Amino acid sequence: MEMITSAQNSKVKNANKLKKKRDRDKTGQALIEGYHLIEEAYQSTVKIKQLFVVDVERLDEELMTYAEEVFEINLKVAESLSGTVTPQGFFAVIEKPVPETTQAKQVLLVDCIQDPGNLGTLIRTADAAGLDLIVLEKGTADPYQDKVLRASQGSVFHIPIITQELSEFIDHFEGNVYGTALENALPYQQIPSQDNFALLLGNEGEGVNADLLNKTTQNLTIPIYGKAESLNVAIAGSIVMYHLKG
Amino acid sequence: MEMITSAQNSKVKNANKLKKKRDRDKTGQALIEGYHLIEEAYQSTVKIKQLFVVDVERLDEELMTYAEEVFEINLKVAESLSGTVTPQGFFAVIEKPVPETTQAKQVLLVDCIQDPGNLGTLIRTADAAGLDLIVLEKGTADPYQDKVLRASQGSVFHIPIITQELSEFIDHFEGNVYGTALENALPYQQIPSQDNFALLLGNEGEGVNADLLNKTTQNLTIPIYGKAESLNVAIAGSIVMYHLKG
């Protein structure tokens, strides 16, 4: 196995470029980090172009065969690739899976959520709740950004995620579309659980775009019984997702 | 108004010490940061010992009168006090409120949650859901740590939070106690909403302590319909809290 000892190595430099969304979009690839996430990618038959690993002993045989190329790296190279303070020393360049366009019945619509932790957590909950599809409006955080990947705990490989104009998606969706809003909205508990729905969540500060809220079947709110002004968007989305599932 | 231009000033040094839990415990004080959080503390009549402010123009008259001491600081001092990359330049040393021991009916029990974002988000949701009390097991993150404060969005001032042995609390609580667990647990949807409950949440990695799970009325689980292994603890806790509220 080839050993890479310099962060200036061209493979490492290419991997590092994938920290930028522009380069991920251009190449269709992404850099992922950590044993759990790489294992999830492998289990989900995501194509692994390169593995970079400090502790070769920990490397699973099957995974090593599965990857197109495997490189041993030292700690210095690991630090240059890592997005964390204490790198596990295990990285992969993957091909971002291209979701099949299916007839989705339970969909999460995301209108420009910015915080990577919120987006990652929502992807994880949507996966747990068994939703079919996540649609992101342009301007939403990128699911292949490292903080989103980390918060999603690998769910980014389990559920199809596409970017599309939400207004167009809503026009063609055959099912109820529920927006989330603070005004002109029904307490979510008044809506029954159902098999066919889209749930629309908005930006942390500004909520859902008003034009989109006008296109929904019904807008929902989560009652505040105490003195908090609002709920975190990932929390609010998760409460309503599980409520709609029943 | 006195101007402080050095991070070596004794008032600033004392404020900075409050970033350590040990010093918060010893003095009963805490350092809080940002306009929103300080406004929340003021609205909740939390005692403000000192205000440190860069932009004196933005300072509210009433708040200025309310605080025992007010100091103008420069950006250098603000940077030394701040826990963020882009400080708002507004800090307060407060006296941590001592919660009155009331007969609480809706309680969140927290067994050693470590992540400050998770704890802060749970405090915010417990406040929103109108719970009466939060009880932390020793070893849980400190609610007056800056990342917890930030995630709680001021809810730390709205709801009483105490530290107590959970096993002792459960022994004396008159109401149903629900643990959260992956095994030997009922899907949470099978439990009706109710007026008198305690919800017990565990550590991110290890879950709730087994001895505590043995003491509950019933342990609950959130069904996973997709391929995610689990839910984030703040998400799981929030789903069940709102479910129990009805």
ipTM of this model?
A: 0.94
Is the per-residue pLDDT at B101 higher than 80? no
CB contact under 8 A, A153 and B229: yes
CB contact under 8 A, B153 and A127: no
Does residue B205 sit in the same domain as residue B129?
yes
Total domain count for chain A? 2
A112 touches chain B (CB under 8 A): no
Query: Which of B65-74, B95-104, B224-233 has the weakest average pLDDT?
Result: B95-104
Contact A68, A3 (CB under 8 A): no
CB contact under 8 A, A242 and B239: yes
pLDDT of amino acid A83: 85
pLDDT of amino acid A103: 85
Alpha-carbon distance of B73 to A101, in angstroms, equals 57
> Which CATH number goes with the domain that contains B188?
3.40.1280.10
In a domain, A56, yes or no: yes
Does residue B114 sit in the same domain as residue B230?
yes
Chain B CB contacts of A238 under 8 Å are 231, 235, 238-239
Chain B nearest CA to A11, separation (Å): 32
Does residue A120 sit in the same domain as residue A239?
yes
Does residue B75 sit in the same domain as residue B120?
no
**Number of helices (H), then strands (E), in chain B:** 10, 12
pLDDT of amino acid B112: 96
pLDDT tens series, chain A, 246 aa: 899 999 999 999 999 999 999 999 999 999 999 999 999 999 999 999 999 999 999 888 999 999 999 999 999 999 999 988 888 899 999 999 998 867 899 999 999 999 999 999 999 999 999 999 999 999 999 999 999 999 999 999 999 999 999 999 999 999 999 999 988 999 999 999 999 999 999 998 899 999 999 999 999 999 999 999 999 999 999 999 999 998
CB contact under 8 A, B124 and A228: yes
pLDDT of amino acid B145: 96
Is the per-residue pLDDT at B183 higher than 90? no
Chain A CB contacts of B155 under 8 Å are 226-228
Out of B37, B66, B95, a domain closes at B95
pLDDT of amino acid A100: 80
Does residue B115 sit in the same domain as residue B147?
yes
Does residue A38 sit in the same domain as residue A114?
no
Is the per-residue pLDDT at B85 higher than 90? no
DSSP state letters, B93-121: EEEPP-------SEEEEEE----HHHHHH
In a domain, B101, yes or no: no
For an interface test with B, give the residue of A106, A235, A244 to mutate (most B CBs within 10 A). A235
Phi, psi values for residue B69, rounded to 5°? -140, 145
Q: What residue of B is the nearest CA neighbor of A229?
A: B128
Q: Quote the domain boundaries for residue A32.
A: 2-95
Is the per-residue pLDDT at B91 higher than 90? yes
Does residue B91 sit in the same domain as residue B146?
no
Contact A52, A81 (CB under 8 A): yes
> Which CATH number goes with the domain that contains B75?
3.30.1330.30
For an interface test with A, give the residue of B134, B229, B233, B245 to mutate (most A CBs within 10 A). B229
Does residue B120 sit in the same domain as residue B62?
no
CB contact under 8 A, B127 and A245: no
Does residue A222 sit in the same domain as residue A119?
yes
